[in-house]
Amino acid sequence: MPETIKRPGWDEYFMKAAHLVAQRSTCLRRKVGAVLVKDKQILATGYNGAPSGITHCEKTGCLRQKLNIPSGQRHEICRGLHAEQNVILQAACHGVSTRGSILYITNNPCSICAKMIINSGIKEIIVSGAYPDIMAGEFLQEAKIKIREFKLEPELTEKETIETEVHKNEVPLL
């Protein structure tokens, strides 16, 4: 009798991909990854960080950090784009429709990203971490975007465990 191969389920597979994508982030405060999926196929990926051709925050420093601005506030003074913005932009750059797709994100979206998600036709969001933006959840609920939480099994590195502890007081959208 052949040995059974243990394969990850689709949610685990795509969420692990989102966490891997997050490792490309150049943000000094939070590493976020996003994977856009349709019909069990990856359409695009995105992570948070400075736009292409712009100096990364590791060289310029983080103005929000210097000014002690709490997470989820004053997005306009950040050099970076969010992972959700980048995944939608990557799809657009390559002529890939986002309509009817599913977005796997390592953290709940902010209200700006929630509005972009709504207008891009994404039908469902699957998240594994919280983000302090109540308005985003209200927007998504009103637009009838399905939101699910999917937590990966604890195979975390020490660094990821520390980062999780730093953000543990944030409010989930669910």
Would you please indicate which residues are annotated as catalytic (active-site) residues?
84
Please name the residue that has the structure tokens 């953000």.
167
Structure tokens at 10: 């689709």
Please name the residue that has the structure tokens 């933006």.
133
Structure tokens at 174: 């669910």
Give the residue from 172, 147, 159, 123 showing the smallest Cα distance to 19. Answer: 159
Q: How far apart are CA 107 and CA 169, in angstroms?
A: 13
Q: Is the dihedral of CA 66, 67, 71, 75 positive or negative?
A: negative
**DSSP letter string over 77-108?**
G-SSBPHHHHHHHHHHHTT---TT-EEEESS-
Between the two ends of the chain, the Cα-to-Cα distance in Å is 44
